[in-house]
Amino acid sequence: MIGVLVVDDDFRVAALHSSFVDKVPGFGSVGVAHTAAAAVADCERLRPELVLLDQYLPDGLGTGIVRRLDADVIMLTAAGDAGSVRSALSTGALNYLVKPFTAAQLWERLLAYARFRGHLAGDRDLDQAEIDRAVAMLHDADAPTGALPKGRSAVTAQRILEALRAAPGPVTAIDVADVTGVSRATAQRYLADLAHSGRIELNLRYGSTGRPEHLYRWRGGRTA
């Protein structure tokens, strides 16, 4: 499990983010802090792997403590100014999500972080292609997620994306339905949405009957 420390001055928001983290596969909230000082102390005490860090804290800026946190950092903040973004990235934050954001956006960034962390696990030498792949994994969820039509579930869409990422090659709607447990019709609707938004690639394969078969592939390739 990837332990997460949530840091936000708003008690309600911090509790909401903490409960959300517990719902993401492979993640668990280890604590909540509401000040910069408490974040540093809790990081030393709880040893989380990841900190979800707000920028505006009662006793200082989140970017002012990034280097003092012995953990990876993703900024979750209302600060969208260029200076805050530059400061966060230059001090070591891995990603930056501006409030208000959707549950799907946070969900996808956490799963992308998990893939990134898994790819860099162990003590081994990496070639440039593997390094480039790790960086791409970290940010492959940063594309806008608002392309799903109204009424679609971001969680279902994410499950379908995960199935495509894990597939050894292009798959059909029936393949996706079998893996995810949704109906073929549901899989087809979500696959069409994701292809239209550019998240996945659609190709046609013609068989002996002359009717084309739709094949779907995640644009980033496999993650394992």
pLDDT of residue 208: 59
pLDDT of residue 157: 84
pLDDT at 204 over 90: no
Average pLDDT rounded to a whole number, residues 6-23: 92
pLDDT of residue 115: 85
Average pLDDT rounded to a whole number, residues 182-210: 80
pLDDT of residue 146: 47
Average pLDDT rounded to a whole number, residues 184-196: 87
Which class for 200: exposed (0-12), middle (13-18), buried (19 or more C-beta within 10 A)? buried
pTM, whole model, 2 decimals? 0.66
3-state secondary structure of 74: strand
User: Residue written as tokens 């920028």?
Assistant: 55
Q: Which domains does the chain have, with CATH numbers?
A: 2-101 (3.40.50.2300), 154-218 (1.10.10.10)
Average pLDDT rounded to a whole number, residues 168-187: 92
In this structure, are residues 69 and 42 in contact, taking their beta carbons and an 8 Å threshold? no
Nearest CA among 161, 182, 178, 175 for reference residue 214: 175
pLDDT at 105 over 90: no
Q: How confident is the model at residue 142 (pLDDT cuts 50, 70, 90)?
A: low
